Amino acid sequence: MDDPLTSEEADAIIDKVVERISRKKMEVPALLFFETHKPLSYVGSQFTVAMSPFIVPFFGYDRTRDAIRLLSKREYVDRLVNRLESSAQARNRRPAPELN
């Protein structure tokens, strides 16, 4: 699980994560979580490695590996936060539907 992500792989994973968070309209709580825990992202990735025998049955090997690889570098967490902010701003710019 120590093979690094390419930039394209990281972008694809980040896009999937942002899409799932945006679909549930949870950008603000996700931003709060990732900004607060950004200094611990590497520790979180290593904790996920240690707990992977228990996590893999629920989330699958590929998703667990992607999470570990994504959290292992602060650069990727920064990209995730930036994309979440962009998604939240884009959603807030859309006009609300009229309730007549």
| In a domain? residue 2 | no
| In a domain? residue 98 | no
Q: Is the pTM of this model over 0.95?
A: no
| In a domain? residue 1 | no
Q: What pLDDT does 1 receive? A: 53
Q: What pLDDT does 48 receive? A: 92
Range of the domain at 46: 7-92
Count of structural domains within the chain: 1
For residue 3, pLDDT beyond 80: no
| In a domain? residue 100 | no
Of 75, 80, 62, residue with least CA distance to 1: 62
| In a domain? residue 97 | no
SS (H, E, C) the chain: CCCCCCHHHHHHHHHHHHHHHHHCCCHHHHHHHHHHHHHHHHHHHHHHHHHHHHHHHHHCHHHHHHHHHHHCCHHHHHHHHHHHHHHHHHHHHCCCCCCC
| In a domain? residue 69 | yes
